[in-house]
């Protein structure tokens, strides 16, 4: 487990660089991401050369996480699990994941503005709550060799020193309002990661850790092929990119065939029985989406013909009548939903969400994370519930064959419900 005392410490960068270091040495590396996240996994997948699955003890559940870790453990030489936020933040937290699966923890601490407090922070992270199998600490953003030595000397007994990384702006990963840039937006990503991997290669953490005993995964019963023979058109381009690999696995297990399309570039939908518009960045591509009138017409036609459509967060934003970007410019969208969605300067919502969709049976789990707000005369078909406090969560709108919400659903949490939304008999 690669964790940190808070966000912004460099744990994604270190995890990706570690994956790159071992992958280029010929090892089979698998990386997992703790918590709901679409952006970090693209970087980790590029570094490791393998898809990155999510572990979230509420959203994905322990059984799902254990099965995916078990599958990876069957053929990987090294498994890395990147934490989320601070090590002990959230319920459940990265610490809970590490303890549940017996993972040693590497804590990355941004140490550029501290000295002996580094040791105090490391001690507190190691001793808050139940003990960990093992803990190592890595100092990030260190100024000089003398600074690194002061930090090393501050580490208390029982915590292993993993080394220090110097400040290196050329190797850092850029961010924007929803997080890090995706891997395909960084043409020099591998150069950055190789530079960091070279730095890590000389540190004490560069060797493989002692193996963690992990039993074989339980073989789950195959899913009923509720969508057998169905062709699902899935949006994927620079504006729509937030897709869990596990969601695609679920659709395949349900019997679907996937047809990819680009709302930015294509002028029509591929032949399909249902449409999925996942989240992404429509607010960054409002003018291009507005100019593609042929795609808007195709979506309206599919909706008029009763083709099932699932739209999540950014996908839903593109289906309102208007989208107002962060500069206040209004763009015409597909108009399947009445109203306007407007970008805000501050985060509008974040957190886990549980939804019981009408007519599907059972609960779908997922999360929400967005900077926009929607103004619409539509009455929600249902509202999600926050598992944190039981409070009211995101609205879910249903308009004919369309189901739309700010919630990003984790399909394995209820495959039958997703199949019902996408047109299962």
Kindly list the catalytic residues. 313
- Mutual angle of helices 189-201 and 40-48, in 10-degree steps: 70
Angle at 182 between CA 177 and CA 184, to 5 degrees: 145
Secondary structure (3-state) at 5: coil
Token pair for 287: 């003018």
- Residues present in the chain in total: 425
Cβ neighbours of 297 (radius 10 Å): 13
Token pair for 104: 């040693």
Rg (CA), the chain: 22
Give, in order, the Cα–Cα distances in Å from 46 to each of 39, 154, 206: 11, 35, 19
Residue 8, classified by CB atoms within 10 Å of its CB into exposed (0-12), middle (13-18) or buried (19+), is exposed
Secondary structure (3-state) at 71: helix
Give the integer Cα–Cα distance in Å for 183 and 134: 31
Query: In terms of DSSP bridges, do strands 257-261 and 160-166 run parallel, antiparallel, or are they unpaired?
Result: unpaired
Positive or negative torsion for Cα 211, 126, 178, 310: positive
Cβ neighbours of 380 (radius 10 Å): 14
Give the integer Cα–Cα distance in Å for 72 and 94: 19
**Residue given tokens 């493989």 in the structure block:** 208
Contact present, 247 and 367 (Cβ < 8 Å): no
Contact present, 385 and 396 (Cβ < 8 Å): no
3-state helix, strand, coil in the chain (%, to 5): 30, 25, 45
């Amino acid at each position: 487990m690669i964790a940190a005392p808070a966000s912004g410490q460099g744990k994604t960068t270190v995890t990706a660089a570690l994956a790159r270091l071992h992958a280029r040495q010929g090892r089979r590396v698998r990386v997992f991401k703790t918590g709901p996240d679409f952006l970090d996994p693209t970087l980790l997948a590029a570094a490791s050369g393998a898809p990155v699955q999510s572990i979230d003890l509420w959203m994905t559940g322990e059984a799902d996480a254990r099965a995916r870790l078990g599958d990876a453990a069957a053929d990987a030489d090294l498994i890395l699990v990147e934490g989320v936020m601070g090590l002990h933040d959230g319920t459940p937290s990265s610490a809970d994941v590490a303890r549940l699966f017996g993972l040693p923890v590497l804590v990355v601490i941004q140490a550029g503005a501290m000295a002996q407090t580094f040791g105090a922070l490391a001690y507190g992270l190691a001793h808050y709550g139940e003990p960990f199998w093992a803990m190592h600490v890595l100092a990030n953003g260190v100024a000089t060799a003398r600074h690194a030595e002061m930090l090393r000397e501050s580490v208390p007994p029982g915590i292993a020193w993993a080394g220090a990384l110097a400040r290196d702006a050329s190797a850092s990963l850029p961010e924007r309002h929803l997080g890090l840039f995706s891997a395909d937006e960084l043409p020099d990503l591998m150069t950055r990661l190789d530079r960091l991997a070279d730095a890590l290669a000389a540190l004490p953490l560069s060797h493989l850790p002692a193996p963690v005993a992990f039993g074989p995964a339980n073989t789950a019963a195959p899913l009923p092929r509720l969508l057998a023979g169905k062709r699902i058109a899935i949006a994927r381009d620079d504006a729509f990119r937030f897709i869990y690999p596990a969601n695609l696995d679920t659709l395949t297990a349900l019997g679907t065939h996937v047809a990819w399309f680009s709302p930015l570039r294509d002028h029509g939908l591929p032949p399909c029985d249902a449409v999925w518009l996942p989240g992404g960045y429509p607010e960054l591509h409002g003018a291009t989406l507005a100019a593609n009138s042929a795609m808007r017409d195709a979506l309206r036609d599919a909706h008029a013909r009763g083709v099932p459509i699932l739209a999540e967060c950014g996908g839903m934003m593109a289906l309102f009548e208007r989208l107002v970007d962060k500069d206040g410019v209004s763009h015409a969208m597909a108009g399947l939903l009445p109203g306007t969605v407007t970008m805000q300067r501050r985060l509008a919502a974040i957190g886990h969400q549980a939804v019981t969709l009408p007519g599907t049976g059972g609960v779908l789990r997922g999360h929400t994370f967005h900077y926009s707000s929607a103004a619409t005369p539509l009455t929600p078909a249902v509202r999600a519930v926050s598992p944190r406090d039981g409070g009211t969560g995101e609205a879910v709108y249903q308009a004919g064959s369309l189901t739309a919400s700010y919630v990003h659903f984790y399909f394995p949490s209820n495959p039958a419900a997703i199949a019902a939304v996408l047109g299962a008999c």
